[in-house]
Chain A
Amino acid sequence: MAGASEDSSPQTFKQGAARALADAKLQRALLNVKRGFIVKRALARSKLPEFDRLRAEARTIKDHTLQHLDLYLEAYERKVIESGGQVHFAPTAGHARDIVLRLCKGAGAKLVTKGKSMVSEEIGLNAHLEAAGIEVAETDLGEHIIQIRGEAPSHIIAPVIHLNKEEIAEDFARAHGGLPKERPLGSVQDLVAEARAVLREKFIAADVGITGANLLVAETGSSIIVTNEGNGDLTETLPRLHIVIASIEKIVPTLEDACTILRLLARSGTGQEITSYTTFATGPRRRGDPDGPRSYHVVLLDNGRSEMLGGDFQDMLRCIRCGACLNHCPVYGTIGGHAYGSLYPGPMGAVLTPALAGIDHARDLPNASSFCGRCEEVCPMAIPLPSLMRKWRERDFERGDPPLAQRFALKLWAFAAKRPLLYHALGRAVAPLLARLAGAQGRFRSLPFAGAWTGTRDLPAPEGKTFHALYAERRRSRDR
């Protein structure tokens, strides 16, 4: 999997997190997540009294679909064929890349435009097409910026959340050739206008348009994408060939079901009631249609999803990639997306990446959580993300992968935690001891086995009494 390579090995993740913490520009940029998405989502949620009911409905829709996924895939395929399109099943990323390349070559493609597609990132599609001599132009503004920087997205719905407009202006000045050197690039409007002009040329010249899909509708054979820039519409309708690439769990039974999920998607992600564009594509151009592609192909990607079905991680297949869990995660909010070393960062990535790439390639990700539970609270599909991360931790522990010292410490803790009398006795003995050792300062600058904490900050010492002792004292004094 392209997005979860050896970059997410434990050491690299820790190094990435350390780099992110020391990056002042990134830290300023991450405030936008807190100021923007969280506040807007809360406002949108407060204006939707039926949010919880929709959430329960959406969960039921997806659970039903996943239980009958084989049949819905066949029903969807029949409808796509009826509408004049073709469906290709790709068991792996390699199969999907080869199918898309074959279709592009068959269309004599020199230039491909792309709408935002996490699945195409997951399979490393751009590099594959470019290696075959096909130019690929990302048309989502954020993805366009990422492409000219040669970076990976740092957020699943806001790929350049880690950048400021000055950095983007520098990138545009460098990458957009044939334009006056002294042109204005100081404002967001300048940047958008320039990107629009550059991309318009690509839209008109493209031979093939590739988009992802937020949802696939079995009832009609339609694919649905949501955008705020309209680039998806131009990518789908202008070239002579439209390829949709989507993972198999994107299917929903009916248009009504799609609408239920769409009402949750934008509100949870960006805090919008609905995105500026919600585009439905059903087959190629029909006789009498004023525009649209002459051929329409859908590539359905498995790439590990079927292994999640019927198992511990099936709930994750409900994910609609809204990004709410990232936006509300204190870990993501502190280190951003790149530190995860995975295309899918944050809590959803901490569950999905080990499932798709293997726990060996993503061992630290399920551990990059404080288990505060906000991700589960805000997830519009009610995915129990902390429980799923815990399951990965358990599997990792059972495989014997954590270092010996860590395993020993955890076993010791588990031994005590399962014996309340021993646990309380130890607490009563250790808390005053630590308080005495810390002295008047009440904190430790360094402590054996706690270097990961004390390396960057002091560790507050217990005040001398355990929580249970204080609670009992307060009850006694209240009863008197």
Chain B
Amino acid sequence: MSAPDQGRAAVLSRVRAALVVSGAEGTRAAAVEDRLRRHPRGTIPARALQSPEACIELLEAMLASQGAKVTRATTP
């Protein structure tokens, strides 16, 4: 076994020994696969749940707080 492979095997076997698993358990693999596939959504920020107009106003306020001058364009 090459040195890189030895390092890999050593780390993974230590992790598995600590978790008392073999790495071949179907339920664990399924849990990981499921999480990666489902990509569950995290919490949506409360401030993003406002109306679109309120969100735009919030953005304007945040930009202004950083010194930006904000102008809304009424037409394209």
Enumerate chain A interface residues (CB-CB to B < 8 A): 48-50, 53-54, 57, 64, 67-75, 88-91, 95, 99, 218-219, 248, 253-257, 259-260, 263, 300, 302, 306-311
Contact = CB atoms under 8 A, between A and B. Distances in A.
Contacts, number: 94
A68 B16 CA distance: 9
B4 interface: yes
B70 interface: no
Interface of B: 4, 7-8, 10-12, 14-21, 23, 28-29, 31-32, 35-36, 39-43, 45-46
B41 A256 contact: yes
A71 B32 contact: yes
Task: Report whether over half of chain B's contact residues are helix, strand or loop; otherwise say mixed.
Answer: helix
Given A70-B12, A90-B11, A91-B14, A309 B32 contact: no
Contacts of A53: 43
Among B14, B21, B46, the most chain A Cβ lie within 10 Å of the Cβ of: B14
10 contacts: A70-B19, A72-B32, A73-B11, A75-B36, A89-B10, A89-B11, A91-B10, A219-B36, A254-B40, A309-B19
A310 B36 contact: no
Contacts of A255: 39
The 7 closest A-B pairs by CB, nearest first: A309-B18, A306-B14, A260-B42, A89-B8, A89-B11, A89-B7, A91-B10
B42 A70 contact: no
Task: Report whether over half of chain A's contact residues are helix, strand or loop; otherwise say mixed.
Answer: helix
Nearest to A47: B47
A91 B11 CA distance: 5
B15 A257 contact: no
Contacts of B39: 219, 254-256
Given A50-B45, A307-B18, A309-B19, A254 B11 contact: no
Given A89-B11, A256-B42, A302-B11, 17 more contacts: A70-B15, A73-B15, A75-B32, A89-B4, A89-B10, A90-B11, A95-B7, A99-B7, A218-B36, A256-B40, A256-B41, A302-B14, A306-B11, A306-B14, A306-B15, A310-B19, A311-B18
Nearest to A66: B19
Contacts of B23: 70-71
A90 B31 CA distance: 26
Contacts of B21: 70
A95 B10 CA distance: 11
Contacts of B35: 64, 253-254
